[in-house]
Structure 1
Amino acid sequence: MSILVIGEALIDIVSSAGSSDRYAPGGAPANVALGLGRLGADVELLTDVGDDFHGGFLLAHLRESHVRVHARPTGSTSTARALLSADGSAEYEFSLRWAPDASLVGSGDWAAIHVGSIAAFLTPGAAAVDSLLQRGRDSSALLSFDPNIRASIIGDHEQALARFESLAARVDVVKLSDADADWLYPGQSADAQVDRILRLGAKQVALTCGSEGSILSTASARVRVPAGAVKVRDTIGAGDTFMSSLVHDLQSTGTRFEDMDEVMLTDLGENASRRAAITVGRAGADLPWASEEGA
């Protein structure tokens, strides 16, 4: 059985002081699908791209990483301008659309379904997200969600929080960054943020905290996994690498969440951190292949 990823694929236009713009394939869910394909998973991506040069480039890029893409190309491909700061972190400006054709995925069952980022919040495509998540719940697929908050385009805080919590209540795994969590739940500690998401119904929460590492938690076990020392080229794709690693490892092992102890959670976090370190050490969302040392 395959893994279905649902969400945007777009072109990152990377800008930094003193350099020419660099164009690269991106979109958080597309990056997760790409990462899964490179780790050897059987993966499909439901997305929305244009029939322009950028759309063709995206489709070829994903297929080279063994992703089966479901899209009906038309119009212009979405873009995200990533503005890099001196420390390699990025801020984004978007030109987007999100209207996938859910009928393209057919009636198959999946071992796991991952949804994420802008596509989880924007209409009309959010309806496809909800429909396919329900199919996953009905078939007992592993369900995961990464909100990858982009505050400038997902609506006001109250509406976005309600949508986030609605989705978090329906999935098994929620992964988010500390910046996401602080935007959703300002003024709360990391542990309080994790506790709140677990109370919504998620069975596992992973909170990434940049150079400070990550927190992985179920209702009965919680660990803090330090980040390894790494030379950062840029942080584009780091969180997506962490997410793809979690989905890959959870789907591969099939361990029940209620049976996970601190050792199992630590292994998950260390694998994800090691893979993310490879990504941040090179330009753009260039996620690791299983054949690479340390992947």
Structure 2
Amino acid sequence: MSFRTDPATAGDVLVLGETVIDIVDRDGVQTEHVGGSPANVAVSLARLGHRVRLVTDIGDDERGQRARVHFRESHVQVTSGERGRTPTAIARIQADGSAEYTFDITWDPPVPELDRAVHVHTGSIAAFLSPGAETVRNFLESLPFGVTSSLDPNIRPALIGSHAEALHTFETLAAVCTVVKLSDEDARWLYPAVDPAEVVDRLLELGVRLAVVTRGADGLLVASRLARLEVPAATIAVADTIGSGDSAMGAIIDEFVRAGLESLTEASLRRIGTWAATVAGVTTSRAGANPPWRRELLGDSGVGQSPDGSSSA
């Protein structure tokens, strides 16, 4: 099966969440990239062909201007609150390519408008940090029938209060969302000593239709009430892991929205998982949060695979 390329199958997606300038520290040498988990998801979705609006909170400083240019070049429409300074995160790259973060951020976005969006995504700091977290929760709880939603907690322990508070917030939001993705680190933090398969069971009990746990080089666990399976990770040379989970989230939403999936069978789950692994793999092979454009995955380079797992070459 070939890639989904018909623009009519794409949809308007609204993303609610923070924009952060990642100050990447590699052995004392610093470079800056536009990031923030929801912002990265917005960019990933736009590059995969969706009409995307990002409701966020960017400053009027030089970093904020750089962020606006980044979003414009990736075809993301931005609505932002007014602030003086754009949030930052120092990302220190570890030996395995993972990153440890130190944040300077507040979160107080404008009240979003649904407009023509068929799907709403949120997560990370935006779902937990007051006062913006209350805006996010109220909006998700008010979505009309037929509009789907997704959540990626992307846990930042230093910013989200106690474990009990964070778990309550997460499960409250998960219970009103169609799709939830966690990393294995998120799952361990939220549900200590619980196997990922049991975490997936809990999400499905809360009412989630599609539950995904990403496990780095070990691939993805993808589940619905009808089926579950493991999907291997893409084989790539790792530059760093910044934005890889966000790219996977974008790919999951992309395939979910395009397919209009009513029945999440094993075949549907395999398509979603394979597409997420492919898109995340490309991002992991690059420095910073730099997800692929759909045209790159359609090229002759052999970089990607179609959502059913067949070669794109």
Q: Distance in 2 between matches of 1:61 and 1:226?
A: 31
| Pair 1:118 & 2:122 matched | no
Change (3 A) 1:186 1:78: same
Q: Distance in 2 between matches of 1:107 and 1:164?
A: 22
Match runs of 1:242-253 below 5 Å: 242-253=248-259
Does structure 1 conserve the Cα–Cα contact (< 8 Å) formed by 2:14 and 2:114?
no
1:262 is matched with: 266
Q: Distance in 2 between matches of 1:139 and 1:223?
A: 29
Deviation at 1:128, TM superposition (A): 1.6
| Pair 1:154 & 2:160 matched | yes
Does structure 2 conserve the Cα–Cα contact (< 8 Å) formed by 1:207 and 1:214?
yes
CA RMSD of aligned residues (A): 1.2
In structure 1, stretches of 5+ residues that fail to align are: none
Change (3 A) 1:254 1:107: closer
The alignment partner of 1:291 has SS state of: helix
Q: Distance in 2 between matches of 1:107 and 1:268?
A: 25
2:37 is matched with: 28
The alignment partner of 1:21 has SS state of: strand
2:218 is matched with: 212
Deviation at 1:72, TM superposition (A): 3.0
| Pair 1:272 & 2:281 matched | no
| Pair 1:46 & 2:27 matched | no
TM-score, normalised by the number of residues in structure 2: 0.90
Q: Distance in 2 between matches of 1:261 and 1:34?
A: 28
1:291 is matched with: 295
Match runs of 1:107-186 below 5 Å: 108-136=115-143, 138-186=144-192
The alignment partner of 1:71 has SS state of: strand
Deviation at 1:228, TM superposition (A): 2.3
Deviation at 1:39, TM superposition (A): 0.7
Change (3 A) 1:106 1:205: closer
Does structure 1 conserve the Cα–Cα contact (< 8 Å) formed by 2:220 and 2:273?
yes
Deviation at 1:107, TM superposition (A): 5.5
Deviation at 1:233, TM superposition (A): 0.4
Q: Distance in 2 between matches of 1:132 and 1:229?
A: 39
1:68 is matched with: 77
Number of equivalenced pairs: 289
Does structure 2 conserve the Cα–Cα contact (< 8 Å) formed by 1:109 and 1:139?
no
TM-score, normalised by the number of residues in structure 1: 0.95
Q: Distance in 1 between matches of 2:183 and 2:113?
A: 33
Identity across matched positions, percent = 44
CA offset digits 1:167-214 (Å, max 9, x no partner):
010100000100000000011111111101111111110000000000
Q: After TM superposition, what 4+ stretches of structure 1 lie above 6 angstroms from structure 2?
A: none
